[in-house]
Amino acid sequence: MAALDRAAIAALDSRGMFEDVLGLPSQLEDALWRVQSAGLEPYDTRGGLVVAGMGGSAIGAMLARAALGDTASRPILAAGGYGLPPWTTPDTTVLCSSYSGDTEETLACYESAGALGAHRIVVTSGGQLAELARADGVGVIPVPGGFQPRAALAYLFVSALEVAALCGAGPRLTTEIDVAGSHLAALAREWGPDGEGENLAKQLAHSLQGTVPVIIGAGVTAAVAYRWKTQINENAKAPAFWGELPELDHNEIAGWQGAPAVAPMSAIFLDDCDTHPRLKARIELTRAAIEPAARATHVVTTRGETAVERVCSLVLLGDLVSCYLAILAGVDPTPVDALTELKRALAERE
């Protein structure tokens, strides 16, 4: 097996993506402080919470919704694109999440929310969104610059959780966020480049190398499966897909029959201690059904006590797997030239 040590990483990771990923535990603590320092006052919006964002700025909301689970008392939705859901009213809180502050879709949603008279909050590192919010007297949660948007996940995740609590859509999870930091620090040591032997993250990367991975979630892990997929896309510059049980068993499972004729495929099922028993049965049976057509299959389970710990444990693992896959592929995990070029081409059409 190819080495996945500090020397191999240093040769390719020119902009420190590994260190950003391993910094997730401390970023959670800093994110909590930044939300609290924004001085936002609690209020009550009966229409729930819409988080408007794209890419790495949207996944934080999806993971926050997963972590809240059944404790959410009002609708919480991550909305992508240029418009808000048609049911958005002045009683809805709209959190506009854009790491750069210049995401055109999120800027459009910010203006739409203002036109509707919805309660707006912004989380960003700057850009046009910060300028507009401050001019309009809209609360701004500041996040530090210097990250790739996908590496600023902790700030966007915690912001969504805290705003959900502020607007009455869910309980405060401050204690859970604090505790998660120390738990994740231990996992970062275990799965990081200096972890003993071929740790789990390295094993999974070697197993997925040369395949098209399909990441399959269920219940609380569905949003995490999407995060794995997008991290493999951006960090490893490789195709990857995701699915969710039980829906996958009503369609996609049939497609695995033709997988060997198309490409070497692999599957990772993300499980959780609180997964519904029937979903656990589906993970076992679905894995058995597709295994003959797959290069490799794995079941990975969350680690931790609280929902925040468990969700973040698999986020950390997936982020590391994607970065290790980048090293195995001989690519720098940070640049995303395809995204940059597309944004440039769009700008020329304005």
Catalytic residues: 234, 250, 343
| Alpha-carbon span 212 to 265, nearest angstrom | 5
Neighbour-count burial of 348, counting CB atoms closer than 10 A to its CB (0-12 exposed, 13-18 middle, 19+ buried): exposed
- Rounded alpha-carbon distances, angstroms, from residue 157 to 197, 242, 275, 284, 332: 31, 20, 22, 30, 25
Instruction: Give the DSSP letter of residue 240.
Output: -
Task: Count the helix, strand and coil residues of the chain and give each as a percent rounded to the nearest 5.
Answer: 55, 15, 30
10 Å Cβ neighbour count for 212?
18
| Alpha-carbon span 286 to 294, nearest angstrom | 12
CA 260, chain centre distance (Å): 30
Half-sphere exposure of 48 (CA within 13 A, CB side): 15
